[in-house]
Amino acid sequence: MKTLYVGNLPWSTTDEELAQAFSQYVEVLSCRIITDRGTGRSRGFGFVEVNDADAEKAIEAMNGTILGGRQVTVNEARPRQPKY
């Protein structure tokens, strides 16, 4: 399983909308929009989990596409760097 980072999402995008956009091209295993802990508002990015074999296909299909009027960035998610 691979996790893909999806950036520059419209604030109004829901988990369901993001999953639906990707499911046109690949099987979506899970999907989540990252929200601000304090306000609960979207932070404008999220993560989509897909099968290893589908990751490259999903990136090629979705990177640079328009979602909700904004051009999204899609790439393989990198592990979080520890905060010092």
pTM of the model: 0.91
| Helix H or strand E encompassing 25 | none
The chain-wide mean pLDDT, for the chain, equals: 95
Residues 6+ apart with CB under 8 A from 35: 41, 42, 43
Q: How confident is the model at residue 83 (pLDDT cuts 50, 70, 90)?
A: confident
- Number of separate domains in the chain: 1
| Domain annotation covers residue 84 | no
CATH code for position 47: 3.30.70.330
pLDDT in tens, 50-62: 999 999 999 999 9
| Domain annotation covers residue 81 | no
| Domain annotation covers residue 65 | yes
| Domain annotation covers residue 66 | yes
**Which domain does 65 fall in, by range?**
2-76
pLDDT in tens, 13-67: 999 999 999 999 999 999 999 999 999 999 999 999 999 999 999 999 999 999 9
Question: How many residues can be counted in the chain?
Answer: 84
